[in-house]
Structure formats: structure tokens, C-alpha cells
Amino acid sequence: MMNNIGIYIHIPFCKSKCAYCNFVSGKFCQKFQKEYVKTLIEEIKTYKINKKISSIFFGGGTPSILPSSEINKILNCIKNNFKLTKNVEISIECNPNSVNFNKLSNYFNMGFNRISFGVQSLDDEVLKKIGRVHNRNQAIRAIKQAKMAGFNNINVDLLLGIKENKNIFKEIKLLKSLGVTHVSAYMLILEKETPLYKMVNEDKIKLLNEEQSIQEYEKYLKILNNFGFKRYEISNFCLKGFECKHNLNYWQCGEYVGFGVASHSYLDGIRYSNTENICEYVNDYNLKTYEKLSNKEKLEELIMLGLRTKKGVPLKNLLKYNYDPLKNKNALKMLCLKLIKINKTHLYITSKNFGITNQIILKLIED
């Protein structure tokens, strides 16, 4: 577990809502956006934390929909209110259609050193299906401009399971040639109460079935690996040295503070979250729910999050909660079946069994 902590900033604004999205986000006027930023800054100023900040992540929504000046206000507030580590990672999520070279240069000059593009696909037909407001050319242009602006740490999100992609090799080759250093490849999960869920149920859109999706994912795994993108977490791949510090902190059960509507925090064994109602948040950012985790819950989270990573869970952290894999009947069964392994320092899931991670985890945390 890390001694430093991460900060997450939620910007809930979008040009339009994607068909598959169930996050707290939506379209709001500029006046309301400014009110939100004002509240966000007030919330940040109320926090006093002695530990240093090792990562800052602006997520959404679409943070890049805000004017650069508003982003700068928020980032300056964080810098003035907290102590940052020397090699702090500062990330911002962007939609390809919401940035240009000047905006990207502004981000770089403010201190952002990692950028994440919600590309989702380089197939215009797929982008249209899922309600994205950018196209293939805009995605390529945005990545090129980020590189020109000075960014050497560039992530792209890819959403899989929508349509068979016969151009995976060419697309990954292109992304690497553009300077992409990190890929987050997610299987589409149909969330209820989203437009896409309704369209699929009404047979207006056909998606890959489970078997086809698995085959598609396996192709991505192989090709990403061939181009040097090594998997270090179930859905995350990177070139050597470009693991996302912010996400690693989550998976290692590190501490973090979230600011903004629907954001979550975890400090001193207590988890708390802000209201999911954006109007309530702007009126009173102190509307929070609190939950003190028991040792059993901490252990479960340690296993659930840590086993998502290639490295796994530190044995010393398991023993801290009196969980010895060599004395636990379920863990011993998993070891005998070679679904999990133990080395000198960690308990981990073998790469070929990442596809059944959830089943393995549920078994390991059974009483």
C-alpha cells in the first residue's frame, strides 16, 4: 500500500450523453458549469491532508469541455492546497472532438503530464452506434496534436464487444506509431436505463454475443502484446514504464480523495461519497455518506482489487488481516487447480485465468 494519496476530480459535463453511459454526467449550460467549478474549488479548499499527493486525475464526463481557464483554476487550487510529490502524475480525460492544439498546449503548460482520450473505436460505424460525437479522423488528429503539444504519456480507451473488428493489427500499429503509450481496453457492459440497452432489447442494434466477445478480446490481447503493450491489470496495457499511477493506487487499496458530484474518497479506513445529484452538490457539497470499513471488508477489497493486477496482492497485507492462503481451504483449492499462484511476495492470478477473475475472487473471499 502506498503512503501517498491520489486526488480525483469529477467534471460531469458532456456535449451529449453516450448511448452506453450510466455515469453521473450530462449537458449543462456554461453558467451552471461555472457555478459547479466555483463549488468544486470551495470543496477542495476545505481539505487539509498531511500526506503528499502522488496523482491527480480529472475525469468525467468530459473535463475538456470546460474552458482551459476553468481547468487551470481547479489545478492551481489543488497545487496551493496540497503538497505534491516530485514525480506527481497529473491526468486529464478528453474527448477527441473537444480539444485542439492550443487547448492541449495549455494543459501541458499547466502541468498535466498524462492525457487520456476516449477514442472507444477507430470505426466510424461503431462510434455512431454508441452515440460518440467524434469520428476516426478527429481521434487520430487529437492524438497527433497531443504529441506535438509535448505529451509523452498518452492513453486511449477502447470499447470492445460491439462489432467484429478485422483491422485490429492495423489499428494498434497506428496507435503506437502516433505515440500512444497506454491502452485501456474494456468489454462493453450493457447497463440498464441506458439508450443502448433499450436499443439492443428492441433489436435495433446487434452486439457480439459472449463467445464472439471473448474471441475478439483474445485477438486484442495477442496483438497488443506483440506491439509491446503488456497487460498489468485486467483491462489495462502499457509500454514499459507507463503504468497509470492513479489507477494502481486504487487497485493497491491506497488512499484517495474525490472532489465533485458523485465522487468517492477513502481515508483512514473510512469510505465516503458525495451526493449523486448535481444540483444538490452545487447547493451543498457537504452532503456526503460515510461508511467505516470492518477488517473483513478491508480484506475483501484487498483481494478484489489486488487480484485485478498482474502482480497480485502482497502476502504481508493478507497476513495483516489473518488471511493465510496456505491455510485457507478455498485458496488451497485454487492453488491446486493452478488458477492462482504464490511467489515470495504476492498471491496472483495466472494471466491465462484473467477471464474468470470474478469467479476466483468470489471463491477466495467465501467464509
Residues ≥6 apart with Cβ < 8 Å to 282: 32, 35, 36, 39
Angstrom distance (rounded) from CA 358 to CA 353: 10
- Residue 24 and residue 278 in contact, taking contact as beta carbons nearer than 8 Å: yes
Look at domain 5-250 and name its CATH class: alpha beta
In this prediction the pTM is: 0.92
pLDDT, tens digit only, all 367 positions of the chain: 457 999 999 999 887 655 555 566 677 788 989 999 999 999 999 998 889 999 999 998 899 999 999 999 999 999 999 999 999 999 999 999 999 999 999 999 999 999 999 999 999 988 988 888 899 999 999 999 999 999 999 999 999 988 888 899 999 999 999 999 999 999 887 777 777 788 888 877 788 888 888 889 899 999 999 999 999 999 999 999 999 999 999 999 999 999 999 999 999 889 999 999 999 999 999 999 999 999 999 999 999 999 999 999 999 999 999 999 999 999 999 999 999 999 999 999 987 888 888 899 999 988 6
Residue 345 identity = T
Partners of 9 in beta bridges = 58, 259
Q: Sketch the domain layout of the chain as residue ranges.
A: 5-250, 306-367
